[in-house]
Amino acid sequence: MLINHPTLGPRDASEFVYKGDAALIRRPAPDAPDALEQFIDYGYLRDNPAGAHRELWFHEQGDRSWLVVTRDTLTHEITDVELARDVARREGRSK
Amino acid sequence: MPDLIAITPLGATRPRIDSHGPVTLTEVTDRALASVAARLGHEAQTAALVTSLIGAPAPGPARMGGTDLTAFWMGPDQWMLDAPIETHEDLAHQILAQAKGATSVTDQTGAWCRFDLSGDGLADVLERLTNANTRAFTGGEAQRTAVEHMGCFLLCHSPRHISVIGPRSSAGSLHHALLTAIRSAH
Amino acid sequence: MTQENRLQGGLIDRSRTISFRFDDKWMKGHPGDTLASALLANGVRLMGRSFKYHRPRGPLSAGSEEPNAIVELRDGARREPNTRATTAELFDGLTAQSQNRWPSLTFDALSINDRLSSFFAAGFYYKTFMWPAAFWEKLYEPMIRRAAGLGSLSLQADPDSYDKGYLHCDLLIIGAGPAGLAAALTAAESGLNVILADEDSRPGGRLNAETFAMGQHSGSDWAAETAERLSAMPNVRVMTRTTVLGAFDHGIYGALERVSDHLPVPPEGKPRQILWRIYSTRAILAAGATERPIVFENNDRPGIMMAGALRAYANRWAATPAQEIAVFTNNDDGHRTAQDLLAKGVTVTAVIDTRPDAPKGNGYEVIAGGTITNTSGRLGLSKIEVTDARGTRRSLNCGALGVTGGWNPNVSLTCHQRGRPTWNADIHAFVPGGTLPQGMTVVGAADGLFSTHAALTSGADVAASIVADLGRTVTRPDLPQAEDTPVALTPFWHVQGAKRAWVDQQNDVTAKDIKLAHQENFTSVEHLKRYTTLGMATDQGKTSNTAGMAIMAEVAGKSIPEVGTTMFRPPYTPTAIGAFAGRSRGADFRPTRKTPSHFWAEEQGAVFVEVGMWLRAQWFPRAGETHWRQSVDREVLQTRRSVGICDVTTLGKIDVQGADAAAFLNMIYCNAFAKLPVGRTRYGLMLREDGIAMDDGTAARLAEDHFVVTTTTANAVTVYRHMEFVRQCLCPDMDVQLISTTEAWAQFSVAGPNARKLLQKVVDPEVDLSNDGFPFMACGEITVCGSLRARLFRISFSGELAYEIAVPTRYGDAMIRRLMEAGREFDVVPYGTEALGVMRIEKGHAAGNELNGTTTALNLGMGKMVSDKKDSIGAVLSRREGLNTPDALRLVGLRPVDRANPVPAGAHLMTRGSPVDAAHDQGYVTSACYSPNLGHAIALAFLKSGDTRMGEVLRLVSPLTGVEHDVEVVSAHFVDPEGERLRA
């Protein structure tokens, strides 16, 4: 596969390390009253769609950026790639 | 000066040189390296620092720049500075003195080994080692990628002169891989 | 032997004659021959024995689709089984052996299987060898492997090397026949970067096998000239002997280049083969088509082959399997075969054309509406039995029979992603269908366009549209006039009523087997394949699949498209495992990482151990030491008695800087770091988000905004990745910068009561090493050996007074020599990883055996470290009820009640008198060693409620090693439990 890195252009997937569902960015607040339940959901309950999936990939043999890659798990078509840091900021993790 | 004698990454007192066909492979040990990374909110100051250090615009993604003191891009708002060790043995501290709290600086001299390929047909060699499109290199590229499973930087000074910078501990494996590929391609 | 079946003309180099050996016979051939063409020219039709029934077989084809003529090529370590004689290029001195026969090819004892054929029908493995189960491994499988099979391995290491490589292009063209060449010319002249790959040694495809004219030239001349013109262009790479094996995601293709297979041995330093990964923006598949047979009784005798193969042997290689031939056809190609062979002086007995309206013969007899109903000839064809339209049978003499049932487009690569072929009723064949691999377009015969004119036109047109699509200006080359004959074919798959009619010759699958499979309800085409083995093995059914599906369709009362095709998967042709390994084998399997003191340690005769990719000194044997324990015990005792030195560079070191560096460490470690003073170091435990321990190490605060974090050697990479995840994905606006500095510093542990005295001799005079000036857990930047910048950490893994000193890596070698020299007066010893391990077990420090991916801070006895005053990764889930039960495992020490007993790691703990089973398990031993300080074995173990069981005697059991004896639960701190030494 080729991942179209937002700053470096298309790079071979072999340069990346896969982590999984980009929902991992949405780490629950530890001080919420139901924090334990939220963390169990966060840690163990993942969607596994047949179709578009937002995933985290780490460019280990490159610029060390974490990316959020939107990939169709049926066709491997990649429709969107963003720096995970930008996604995290957009999702309100700036604090 | 310390009363200790440094050794090369390959374990000798002098850098190694190998020639085969049109290609010369030279171990380069006379450069000092330091990485710089922008502190949060100080991205512009850090780019300006790099610019002032190398006397050229801070290089963009996968590019290098400068002449005597050079820099290559490592990641977002992050560069590696490269200078002659003779005059910059303590490159990291020299940069830190100018960083004014805007930039994190880390000594990287000892972390890397460097082998320079020079001559004709370098892409014929490198295409057996790395997925980087070195045949399209024209000069100024600085690509980080894997070379025979080792994370390396490829710096293209010109299509007839390309540096491979790899992890120092694997210098023996990297040199072996390069020499094997040269003999295979030429 | 003379080349009795060598014809005139051809594309071989007759100026040179070369010798080769097949089994025990030496023969002559010419450069340009394949092994198969040379054997045919020498009158040899019998080249192998079939897989199951050991039937005599000869070549069916003249290319990589060959099912029958597979041999063991070369001798000794280079012997390669299952090599197609039809693609093996002849070189002087080539040797080949026939396979699957004993004692000889002409007399094969196991041809008895052929007489027992009813026993070996479809599914025979499943039906025959069902009971008893224990017989399978010991009796049935060895028996079947002996009887059925192909070539055998040399069982020696492959002496050749293989390269891997990476190529980039705008356009990859797969196949250098007329369509591929026309596409390449168009794209190349329009300025695209083009790779043209073909599996053959000679570009041209069928142009080399046919007598077509291309304008004023012969087809083969035009192909050669065009390929030469392309090779001379800087933007084109013409790759012959290169098979594109697979189409992968996003325009990536795998291709195998056979660099040296046509030579006796690879030239010095050169690989045998190269496995290329090709990155293409676009690809054109111009892979041509494969001829398919008609199935009839005894259709497998040597001499019976594809009609197109007969033409290829005659026209390209000037060889024929016999001087008298016949042709069996359902289309006009059969007649072209007769004409080409007649032109070469071969006698054509008859053309048997299944079509009642067959064309008239021109110099040969045509039996219109006829079929072949049997053949004879023990080791090669001698007669065919023909039944004409009126049902009259007659026998004809011939030594070879060309068979053609039409052509199948080579769609394999179109299916490697999501493509599924569709049936084209005009040409009665499957053509590319469904979603093709990204960027791929199919042209020429591979797309079902069978005339040369159509191939040229489609190749050029598609290339032109790709050029335009990529934003370039199209330059159209001049293409020659070529034949444009329409396909004239009436489907005919098999002759009815046959008993032993071979559909898949490589797997010995008959028409009857397919009917039997259907009768037994294997009605899906994928089941049919597995049950009968149709389309398996080295040829993957390239010639047999369509006939198999046609017969299945017939018995199922379906159409062929309703039956469908099986999946095509990479690789397109068999590929040596060595090519996939590339240079990564033996010592080069992966890179080696050497420590800064490696060269010095080698001089000392150190024994090394692999730790990940690192080579670390395991121990340093001295003269007279004959057992590793002697060396290790000495290193441990001498370190605890005086001083020892160990290279600890391999521990991961991560530079953490920024205004929020301390807050960041608070996030990644379960314990607190915010208040760590500058100049101090603290032990830190990292948890995974699920609350399980991930890694441990130290963080040294060199400045308010600067820490150096250490990781274990094994986890250096994963911890760095994790820290970047936290930084970029969870805390994107913390001011923190990370970079690995593992290799930038050579770091040595100097441990033992004399460590300070030794170090004092090395550091520069102004450095204060006193306990007040540089107390336990202090850190700082100092200078050594005359102004060399260094880092000093007062940390201890051994439990002794200890320092870790770091100098720039290039000085590491000089530093260890200096330390050893300075330590001579203290009888300093270097110690390796074994002594390091013994000392940390003696001290009760957890390491990888304890942080094993299942244990928590609580288990490790560090439960109180998990701060509840701050957020950190893993903190919330570490408080889960299930991880905090009263009987949770706790880290304890063990010593044998009878001190002479050993304590094996991995042994389990049971209470005395309880049964030895999982239900009564109390815990397990993680680390164990002989303690030279205590004089007996000691161990670290996880024990249920271990913190409350000090002094209890348990049974240690290891059924695997036969150990069962009593051990006593003690504190894990065997040496200096109060920690007085490290604070000294």
Chain C CB contacts of A77 under 8 Å are 438
CB C368 within 8 A of CB C353: yes
pLDDT at C295 over 80: yes
Mutation for B interface: A4, A17, A64, most B CBs within 10 A: A64
Mark yes or no for CB contact A65/B151 under 8 Å: no
- Quick count: other Cβ atoms within 10 Å of Cβ C175? 31
- C9-48 in b/e form (b: 16+ CB < 10 A) is ebbbeeeeebebebeeeebbbbbbbbbbbbbbbbbbbbbb
pLDDT digits (tens, 9 = 90+) for C558-593: 999 999 888 899 999 999 999 999 999 999 999 999
Q: Which residue of A has its CA nearest to C418?
A: A75
Tracing tokens 């390796």 back to the chain, one arrives at C832
Query: CA C281, CA C251: separation in Å to the nearest integer?
Result: 6
Closest CA to C494 of C540, C548, C534: C548
Chain B CB contacts of A8 under 8 Å are 61-62
Mark yes or no for CB contact A15/B61 under 8 Å: no
Which SS3 state, helix, strand or coil, does residue C299 take?
coil
Q: What's the pLDDT at C499?
A: 87
On the 0-12 / 13-18 / 19+ scale of CB atoms within 10 A, C915 is exposed
Using a CB cutoff of 8 Å and minimum separation of 24, what contacts does A37-45 make? Answer: A39/C689, A39/C876, A39/C877, A40/C877, A40/C880, A42/C689, A43/C689, A43/C690, A43/C877, A44/C690
pLDDT at C796 over 60: yes
pLDDT digits (tens, 9 = 90+) for C757-791: 999 999 999 999 999 999 999 999 999 999 999 99
Q: Which of A42-46, C1-5, C109-113, C605-609 has the lowest mean pLDDT?
A: C109-113
The pLDDT of C258-271, averaged and rounded, is 97
Q: Which residue of A has its CA nearest to B40?
A: A94
Q: Which chains touch B (3 or more CB pairs under 8 A)?
A: A, C
Strand segments (E) across C317-412? 324-329, 347-353, 366-368, 371-376, 383-387, 393-397, 400-404, 407-409
Percent of all residues in chain C with a pLDDT value above 90, rounded to a whole number:
89
* DSSP H helices in C116-177: 124-128, 134-135, 141-147
A26 touches chain C (CB under 8 A): no
Q: What's the pLDDT at C564?
A: 86
Q: What's the pLDDT at C125?
A: 61
Q: ipTM score of the complex?
A: 0.99
Mark yes or no for CB contact B74/A63 under 8 Å: yes
Mark yes or no for CB contact B131/A65 under 8 Å: no
The pLDDT of C714-734, averaged and rounded, is 97
Closest CA to C977 of C903, C851, C893: C893
pLDDT digits (tens, 9 = 90+) for A53-91: 999 999 999 999 999 999 999 999 999 999 999 999 999
Angle, helix C178-189 to helix C219-231, in steps of 10 degrees: 30
Option in C251, C730, C871 nearest A88 (CB): C730
pLDDT at C398 over 90: yes
* DSSP H helices in C642-675: 661-668
pLDDT at C523 over 90: no
A56 touches chain C (CB under 8 A): yes
Percent of all residues in chain C with a pLDDT value above 70, rounded to a whole number:
97
Query: CA C969, CA C950: separation in Å to the nearest integer?
Result: 5
Q: What's the pLDDT at C140?
A: 67
Mark yes or no for CB contact B173/C270 under 8 Å: no
Pairing of strands C607-611, C614-619: antiparallel
Q: What's the pLDDT at C128?
A: 59
The pLDDT of C262-289, averaged and rounded, is 98
CB C474 within 8 A of CB C464: yes
Pairing of strands B112-119, B161-167: antiparallel
Residues in contact with C657: Cβ distance below 8 Å, sequence separation at least 6, in sequence order: B37, B104, B106, C705, C706, C707, C736, C737
pLDDT digits (tens, 9 = 90+) for C750-766: 999 999 999 999 999 99
Q: What's the pLDDT at A94?
A: 86
CB B150 within 8 A of CB B131: no
Q: What's the pLDDT at B175?
A: 98
Option in A7, A15, A61 nearest B76 (CB): A7
Q: What's the pLDDT at C494?
A: 95
C209: left (phi over 0), alpha (psi -120 to 50) or beta: alpha
Per DSSP, B163 falls in state E
The amino acid sitting at C889 is: L
- Quick count: other Cβ atoms within 10 Å of Cβ C324? 15
pLDDT at C132 over 70: no
The pLDDT of C717-742, averaged and rounded, is 97
C418 touches chain A (CB under 8 A): yes
Mark yes or no for CB contact B146/A15 under 8 Å: yes
The pLDDT of C872-886, averaged and rounded, is 95
A67 touches chain C (CB under 8 A): no
The amino acid sitting at A46 is: R
Closest CA to C803 of C782, C827, C833, C825: C782
Mark yes or no for CB contact C732/A94 under 8 Å: yes
pLDDT digits (tens, 9 = 90+) for C313-334: 999 999 999 999 999 999 999 9
Pairing of strands C236-239, C242-247: unpaired
pLDDT digits (tens, 9 = 90+) for B110-119: 999 999 999 9
DSSP β-bridge partners for residue C892: C941
pLDDT at A26 over 90: yes
Tracing tokens 């012959």 back to the chain, one arrives at C240
pLDDT digits (tens, 9 = 90+) for B118-132: 999 999 999 999 999
Q: Which chains touch C (3 or more CB pairs under 8 A)?
A: A, B
Could you say which residues of chain B have pLDDT below 50? none
Which SS3 state, helix, strand or coil, does residue B113 take?
strand
Which SS3 state, helix, strand or coil, does residue C488 take?
coil
A41 touches chain C (CB under 8 A): no
CB C694 within 8 A of CB C899: no
pLDDT band at C126 (very low <50, low <70, confident <90, very high): low
Q: What's the pLDDT at C145?
A: 63
Closest CA to C276 of C63, C586, C573, C580: C580
Q: What is the mean pLDDT of chain C?
A: 94
In Å, how far are C131, C145, C650, C702 from C139, measured between CA atoms? 11, 10, 51, 70
CB C856 within 8 A of CB C693: yes
pLDDT digits (tens, 9 = 90+) for C41-95: 999 999 998 888 889 999 999 999 999 999 999 999 999 999 999 999 999 999 9
- Pairwise pLDDT comparison (C151 vs C869), residue with the higher score: C869
Containing B88, the helix (H) or strand (E) segment is helix B85-88
pLDDT at C112 over 60: yes
Q: What's the pLDDT at C113?
A: 75
Query: Can you read off the two tokens belonging to residue B135?
Result: 């045949």
pLDDT digits (tens, 9 = 90+) for C615-655: 999 999 999 999 999 999 999 999 999 999 999 999 999 99
pLDDT band at C119 (very low <50, low <70, confident <90, very high): low
Q: What's the pLDDT at C538?
A: 87
Mark yes or no for CB contact A15/B145 under 8 Å: yes
Q: What's the pLDDT at A28?
A: 97
Query: CA C301, CA C400: separation in Å to the nearest integer?
Result: 9
Q: Which residue of C has its CA nearest to A26?
A: C730
Chain C CB contacts of A35 under 8 Å are 876
Q: What is the pTM of this model?
A: 0.95
Query: CA B160, CA B153: separation in Å to the nearest integer?
Result: 17
pLDDT at C1 over 60: no
Query: CA C198, CA C180: separation in Å to the nearest integer?
Result: 9
Q: For chain B, report the end-to-end CA distance as a whole number of angstroms.
A: 43
On the 0-12 / 13-18 / 19+ scale of CB atoms within 10 A, C356 is exposed
pLDDT band at C130 (very low <50, low <70, confident <90, very high): low
What is the 3-state secondary structure of C193-207?
Answer: CEEEECCCCCCCHHH
